[in-house]
Amino acid sequence: DNLKWLYHVNFFSYVSMAQQSIAHLEKTAGRIITVGSAAGRTGLPKVAEYSSSKHALFGYFESLRYDMRGKSSKVSITTCTIGSIDTENARKGTKDANIPGFMWHPADVCAETIAIGGQARVYNVFYPFAQTYPIFILRSFPKLAEFVIEQFGFE
């Protein structure tokens, strides 16, 4: 079933790797970097299953970050919110989507942005910033989000 597969790939695999690595990361002041999606920061039309798996990812690792800080851990956790990155899988997954003004962004620049953020131990990385950061505004104002979705024809 697609929902179970999405959770396995987008959530449980990250949790499993982190749990198996945490002892070593503690010894080395290591880094955990998770890659999520703008759809994981707020609900979006036509991607409920995918969105929920990415919400779980952010919820788990942002909570884990607080738990680690409470233990004075030197492990850093960076969560990355990415938008429409030009990859074969992304193009295949959105081929039937009719999203006005949709733009692809280069995967190599995204990867570099994630690496820089992880190296700097920042809490959150947004790429492309102009596409992903406004999600937080829409999350804070659900009626505005509904208006934007209706105006741009995402339904």
Q: Tell me the backbone φ, ψ of residue 126, rounded to 5 degrees.
A: -125, 125
Tell me which of 14, 50, 60, 127 is the catalytic residue.
Answer: 50
Our answer to whether residue 50 is catalytic in this structure is yes
Cα–Cα distances in angstroms (integers) from residue 115 to residues 37, 46, 60, 65, 107, in the given order: 16, 30, 21, 18, 12
d(CA 110, CA 116) in angstroms, rounded, equals 10
Give the Cα separation of 81 and 154 in Å (integer): 20
Cis omega (within 30 of 0) for bond into 134: no
DSSP 58-92: HHHHHHHHHHHHHTT---EEEEEEE--B--HHHHH
Q: Which residues are catalytic?
A: 50
